[in-house]
Structure 1
Amino acid sequence: DELGILSILRDGNPQASGKEHVSQLLNSFVHDGPQGKHICLALELLGISILDVYQSFDGSLPLILVQRVAKHVLQALQYIHE
């Protein structure tokens, strides 16, 4: 389940390479609503989306930026894989 996976990622080695590129779970709680119980996840606030960055460059990102984003994604995947 999503809560379990996010908890494992949050509780992983804080010095592990790539952890800083994975959105972190801050808290979770159960909300009792008219449609039943719902698990709510509170994640850290993130910055601008890659879509917004892409659109700010009129649909053509500079190569250096693409390389940086790809590096961060690969570092995050490495952390998740470990």
Structure 2
Amino acid sequence: MNSRRKLHETELYVEPLPEEESRRPFNSVLRHADTIAGFRTAKHGGQVKKWYRVYAWISFLLFAGTMIWNAVKFLRQM
């Protein structure tokens, strides 16, 4: 037996865990946080209700419009 073999030649190949198995600890922490909070929170944008996203966009556009309008009024007075 050759003792000068490289490390990758001596180690056994281990199959990677499936996606679900590798994320199990992370998912259990999220589930625990939801239990503590008393309700399920959105983890990404696709889980936010559509009416809330529309409301957020309208609010943002109104805020940006108001800021632009005030800036234009201020610049006209100069």
Structure (1 or 2) with the greater helix fraction: 2
Fold shared by both chains (TM-score > 0.5) = no
Structure (1 or 2) with the greater strand fraction: 1
Higher relative contact order (CA 8 A, sep 6+): 1
TM-score range, shorter chain: under 0.3
TM-score (norm 2): 0.27
